[in-house]
Structure 1
Amino acid sequence: MKNLLAALTFGLSAAAALGCGPYFPESYLAFETPRTGDFDLACHIKALAEHFHPDMPIVPKPAKNVSTAEGTRLDFLAAAAAAGLPERECPVALERYLAFCRQPSPEAVPSALPAKLREFYLYALGRNAVMTDPDDRCPEAWRELLSLPPELRHYRTTWVLYMLGNLQLNRAPEEAFRYYTRLREAAREGFADTIGLAWLSLRTNEKTPGPQALRYMVAAVAGGRTPDLWAFRRIAGKAAKENAKEALADPVVREVLLATSADPLPLLARLQPETKPLMAERLAARCYFDNRLDACRALLALCPENSLIRLYLEARLARREGDIPLAADKLSRWLRTYRAAGKTGLTFHPDEAKRLYAVDASAAGNSFPEEVNGVLGTILVEQQDFLEALHAFLAAGSWNDAAIVAEQLLPTDRLIEYCRNHASDPENARQARLRYLLARRLMREYRVEEAGAFFPEAMKPLYELYRTANRRANDPSLAEGERALALFQLGRLLRQRGFELRGTELEPDQFIVAGAHEELPSQNWRDGQFPLKTVDWYFSDLPRGPELINWSAPLPNLNRLARRFHYRRIAADFFARAGVLADDPALRAAAFWSAGYCLKDRHPDEANEYYLMLCDSGDAPMAAEARQLKWFPANPALELLVFKSPLEKEPGKEEIAEAASAKNGK
């Protein structure tokens, strides 16, 4: 059933991405497609970083790279100006300092040195001490520099902390981490960081042992670095091979090893019985969507029994195994547990492949209760309980799936009952969409009088025009000429506004994307101004802006769209019926011409039938011209009257005949 429904919707997930944006998830009735793992691992590492280092200061990446020499020059000149040196003396002081750096010694420090320039000389002395004695991990000059008042060490505090971290990185990574943390805090507090040392500190050294490197790489991600997934996988794999027992004993390393492993089952078997992976729920979700079901089950066993993610995934597993009642029971239990706990912070975060993961509430995504309702809706569709499925999909916020149930699966009378009982709130945008869908469905089924109760207020004037003309067209007490004029008006209404009166929500019309499915929407459409201004209100509950819509989504198969102009065919039929009833030759010819003009460009074979009727319309000038041209003649006056003139003013017999009788429409 699921695959059949997905096929019927000709790539419903692509239409959802193009039309609905992030307010609605991909179709729950669409195919489940394979997913890639890079985005998964990146999300996982970021979640670990936020958990283990919640207070790590985020370091912005420098706008441009500044060399050490340029940074020295900029910092010294700024400090000299702050120290009160005249502008002409600042370059001289800089040259004196650079000469000192080439042969630094305590005796060479100028005696009359301004207090704000002392930090530069202390830094040079400390750097020389390290180069002279590599075992000196914290020279006296640097300790003195860090003991200065903050206003006297504004420019070299970050440099000293960075160098101290580098000196400790291979021998004492934890000590290096503390220095780097102090460096980032100093940069955040306002100490100068001209060459971006705070950002450079978010790295590790190739010589750092694997477990220590992984811990620091996680911390670097917390500081703002983009995870180097290749490095994570390589270092984690090496650490697992060299000493898996030691690596699994460290909480941070254990989580990284499980996240990067192609098959976490062997690692799970080596865990101590009391060990519960911090990210077991998230890992289980990843394994499920990667089709590693055995690993998923093993991880679920490590999750609490009342875990919402465990219940959700167990329902999905039961459904895959064909145990539909168990799946429904798990989801119902999920909803009860959720309501009882009063939790509101769980969400699912979709990546570009629409994979879902449990993350915190700050992440953009579909709320977990919506996801559960969506999966429950698919089960209810399989059980052919379409009314409850519609309710579940609306609760899930999945408009595509709600539309396929409402438009193609649920009997019309049941949908009417549902809308009257559960979709009567005029302030609820989604309920308004459902009522409008029903109104157009009733119009397609020629239940015009019933449709009026479900049209939105913005469409009521157009609907009343249609209803009035429809009553007259079907009133046997009226003369045939009067009924012909009413049918002609119905043809005008459908030809100009048929999309809004009868358009289908999904195929073939795709009302959810305002009918823009033969090419990418125009820039105006992307900016929120839809081609059909009159239905712009209909999309008022959707987010606007090109960044919210997936413009790279594949377009639907255009060969499946041949039927989407069904309202034009109905308009042509109304025009033709008007021609049959018309008692005036010019009116008859105008009606048959209008019928053919609706279809001649897209369906010339169907329009040919109306061309033959036009040719048989007697002595009307337009009929003679059609016989001469062997096709429909141009008539700008009649074309304007039928296809473009205001619908509120219904044309009379004389007006139509005058336009039809004019030679070449002039």
Structure 2
Amino acid sequence: MLTRNWRRDLLCLSLGAAVPMGSALACGPDFPLRLLENRAQSLAQLPEGNFRFEVSRIGHAVVGLNNVTAATNSPDVGYGEPPNYVEQRATAELIGLSPAQQTRVTQLRELTDPHEVARLGVDLPAEIRDYLAGAVAFTAGEYRTAAEYFQQVLALPAEQRPLRSTWAAYSLGRSLFALSSEAGEVEPALAQAQQAFEQARQLSIDGFSDPLELGVASLGEQARVARTAGDWNRAIELYAAQNLHGSPIGYSSLKLLMNDLAALPSAHIATLLKGPAVQQLVTASLISRIGWSFDEQPPNEKKLIALLQRSTAGSLQNADRLAAMNYQQGDYASARAFLEHAGDGGLAWWLRAKLAVRDGDTAAATAAYAKAAQAFPKDESWGERRTPDWSVESLQPKCRVDGESAILALQRGDYLQAFDQLYRSNGVYWLDAASVAERVLSVDELKQYVDSQVPAPPPLSQQDRDNYVPLPVAASLRDLLGRRLLREGRYDEAPTYFDNPDLQNKARWYGQMRQDAESNWWPTNRAFAYYQAAASARYDGMALLGYELSPDYATFGGNFSLDPVELKAGPWLADAEIQRQQATLAQPDQRFHYRYVATALASKAADLLPHSSQAFAAVLCKASSWGTSLQEQSAFYQRYVEQGPYVVWAGDFGHQCQEPDFRNPDKRYVTQIIDAMRTTLRPFKLALQIAGVLLVTATGLLLINRRRKTVR
């Protein structure tokens, strides 16, 4: 079995630190963050925000405009080939046309002269013909001609342009934008382009055909126009709206816009930061640490922080985010100042709790954490993040707040509340919840909680188990309790908590054997029970007896381990909790401790067997093969050499072992006693023989003498 203990920061160096949120890593295991590993750090640190979540707070969706539902407007975000936009457009152009019209449109698309398209397309509806002519002109770079044809489409009565109205307005906007670089008056051309994109959205809202979802795409195009016109706030709002409608282009455009903004001269940035949308975008970027690599700050970020702090002094807008940015930078005074205007949102109360912890006011911190947990929506998620030590956290603020509050609960001795707060994360902080359940709660406290609040979920099917579908958190907790009950000798209570019938039957068998080993009066039967329990502990020990965390790491199937958490009294680890944890240490506190349990039980089985029996030798051989320490393996072999009988397989002891035969040792209990006596008396053989002769002679003379007396 693998026993790796890898440095987490070395597992995925080849991928770099700029791994997209939510992406899967293929170079090694992802170890979840443990809040209890470094409690002071967990309480002090404010995790970075999520840029995708933060920019979703900027701008507004357009009322009536449908969200993106297909890949037509989306760049590829995986490892495959990017979408073929020309192919998508060609397919969409055929919608609503007869077969003859479809063929005609395909032919006209191959032309390069827009006027020829208009001449040869007389048999097509006017909206189709004029749009095609405009599209060919646009491709040829004849933007003024293209704009004229698109305007002709839009001049048609509404009932005569159901298929190309949205297309024409969108393309008109692009044509006008292209013309703006040529026109003598740039501003009017840009203004007309923005109007065309607004018209495209309205036409899409009004129900005109929009299979390419150009209504949403027009937001990004108009944002580009606004940016060109110098209106950064409007550009940000439009890209943000595009993002809200589900277009990845809006999200990626905001990231690119942020990069462009950071590269501007400081004076220009300071001017732009007077706009609320620019201020929000910069704040979102800073608290999300966009551009950080291996915990290294980008070179332009310090400049942005200083400019933002100067421009937002006394600001009442976005105060909770500005407080968060200052807290992350260690400017706690500014963070407090912004929190005075931050309202009652979850982030504001979370920051107040952290500042109270810094002040040593645990009562105020506890109250603030409770308010933060109430204020954060249950479904709010900031996506996945990686910590500097390369742990992974699925950051759900409500769960994180509860997890940090659990640290305070542990410190004051409220262990059940601490466990409940960690367990409610539904697996996000399972390692912490398991640690408290396994090492801090008493078994009766844990059992009462499970019985009252954690009903058994439906068991996984065999197919799910074969496909390594993870257990529900409730099932994992019940398994943990079942294993703990078995370890503590409560064999009758344990089986019902295991998640499937197979494990339940194995738990019953193990418990029955442990009880038989202690209660049966006949030594061979007791030895059989001890051995069966030992074999069960060895081969099913991870599932039946293993610790979820140290030292066995059943949570990883025993394949990996984590750095141990030091039990040292301090501000956030009280003596009472340390005493509880020390009382629940594994016995022995060794990796795969259940193997040592197995060898101890096998040793007890050997104690009850005649040393001259095959069963005695086989039990010792099996125990030696069970992979504990070399010292213990050698001890079993030494015991066999000193006490056991000759067996033909002894030459490969500990590797080639027969199964113990418990049917034949009984008769050897008598012979073993006789053999032991012979061994003891062998040095006195001659003396005993002489004494025996003398004893027989004396007995005979005594009998003869007694008979003579009787005759007289």
Q: TM (normalized to structure 2)? A: 0.63
Which residue of 2 is the match for residue 208 of structure 1?
229
Query: Higher relative contact order at CA 8 Å, sep ≥6: structure 1 or structure 2?
Result: 1
Instruction: Report matched runs for 1:376-415 at 5 Å.
Output: 376-397=405-426, 398-415=429-446
Q: Does 1:462 align with 2:506?
A: yes
Which residue of 2 is the match for residue 27 of structure 1?
34
Which residue of 1 is the match for residue 130 of structure 2?
119
Which residue of 2 is the match for residue 164 of structure 1?
176
Work out the CA distance in 2 between the residues paired with 1:412 and 1:91.
Answer: 75
Instruction: Report matched runs for 1:167-186 at 5 Å.
Output: 167=179, 171=187, 173=190, 175-183=192-200
Residues 436 and 454 of structure 1 are in contact (CA less than 8 Å); yes or no, is this contact kept in structure 2? yes
Which residue of 1 is the match for residue 339 of structure 2?
300
Which residue of 1 is the match for residue 675 of structure 2?
none
Question: 572-581 or 160-169, which moves further after superposition?
Answer: 160-169
Instruction: Report matched runs for 1:263-412 at 5 Å.
Output: 264=305, 267=308, 270-271=311-312, 276-277=316-317, 279-285=318-324, 287-289=326-328, 291=330, 293-304=332-343, 306-334=344-372, 344=377, 347-353=380-386, 368-397=397-426, 398-412=429-443
Work out the CA distance in 2 between the residues paired with 1:617 and 1:150.
Answer: 101
How far is 1:289 from its partner? Answer: 4.9
How far is 1:569 from its partner? Answer: 1.6
How far is 1:378 from its partner? Answer: 1.0
Which residue of 1 is the match for residue 487 of structure 2?
444
Per-residue CA deviations over 1:254-293 (Å, capped at 9, x if unaligned) read: 32244346465754554596x532x433454455456554
Instruction: Report matched runs for 1:9-28 at 5 Å.
Output: 26-28=33-35
Distance 1:517 1:577, change over 3 A: same
Per-residue CA deviations over 1:464-491 (Å, capped at 9, x if unaligned) read: 322322223223x713222222212222
Which residue of 2 is the match for residue 612 of structure 1?
638
Which residue of 1 is the match for residue 58 of structure 2?
48
Work out the CA distance in 1 between the residues paired with 2:178 and 2:47.
Answer: 33
Work out the CA distance in 2 between the residues paired with 1:129 and 1:450.
Answer: 81
How far is 1:404 from its partner? Answer: 0.9
Which residue of 2 is the match for residue 513 of structure 1?
556
How far is 1:309 from its partner? Answer: 2.5
How far is 1:43 from its partner? Answer: 3.5
Question: 323-332 or 140-149, which moves further after superposition?
Answer: 140-149
Give 5+ residue unaligned stretches, structure 2: 12-23, 26-30, 76-81, 287-300, 459-471, 563-587, 668-712
Which residue of 1 is the match for residue 671 of structure 2?
none
Q: Does 1:563 align with 2:570?
A: no
How far is 1:612 from its partner? Answer: 1.1
- Number of residue-to-residue matches in the alignment: 553
How far is 1:314 from its partner? Answer: 0.8
Partner amino acid, structure 1, of 2:517: A
Which residue of 2 is the match for residue 595 of structure 1?
623
Give 5+ residue unaligned stretches, structure 1: 1-7, 19-23, 356-363, 520-560, 643-650, 658-666
Say which SS state the counterpart of residue 58 (structure 2) adopts.
helix
How far is 1:384 from its partner? Answer: 3.5
Residues 530 and 605 of structure 2 are in contact (CA less than 8 Å); yes or no, is this contact kept in structure 1? yes
Per-residue CA deviations over 1:196-241 (Å, capped at 9, x if unaligned) read: 9948837626743262544454455455414242432432664872
Pick one of 122, 132, 155 that aligns with 1:147. Answer: 155
How far is 1:504 from its partner? Answer: 0.5
Which residue of 2 is the match for residue 551 of structure 1?
none
Residues 131 and 149 of structure 2 are in contact (CA less than 8 Å); yes or no, is this contact kept in structure 1? no
Which residue of 2 is the match for residue 524 of structure 1?
none
% identity of equivalent residues: 20
Say which SS state the counterpart of residue 595 (structure 1) adopts.
helix
Residues 383 and 394 of structure 2 are in contact (CA less than 8 Å); yes or no, is this contact kept in structure 1? yes
Pick one of 473, 477, 496 that aligns with 2:517. Answer: 473
Partner amino acid, structure 2, of 1:378: I
Distance 1:257 1:656, change over 3 A: farther
How far is 1:609 from its partner? Answer: 0.5
Per-residue CA deviations over 1:330-365 (Å, capped at 9, x if unaligned) read: 223445x65xxxx8566242333279xxxxxxxx96
Work out the CA distance in 2 between the residues paired with 1:394 and 1:93.
Answer: 65
Which residue of 1 is the match for residue 656 of structure 2?
634
Which residue of 1 is the match for residue 19 of structure 2?
none
Structure with larger Rg = 2
Per-residue CA deviations over 1:583-613 (Å, capped at 9, x if unaligned) read: 25211111111111213xx633320100111
Distance 1:467 1:257, change over 3 A: closer
Residues 316 and 327 of structure 1 are in contact (CA less than 8 Å); yes or no, is this contact kept in structure 2? yes
Which residue of 1 is the match for residue 599 of structure 2?
572
Distance 1:9 1:326, change over 3 A: farther
Distance 1:43 1:175, change over 3 A: farther
Which residue of 1 is the match for residue 533 of structure 2?
490
Work out the CA distance in 1 between the residues paired with 2:510 and 2:364.
Answer: 50
Q: TM (normalized to structure 1)? A: 0.67
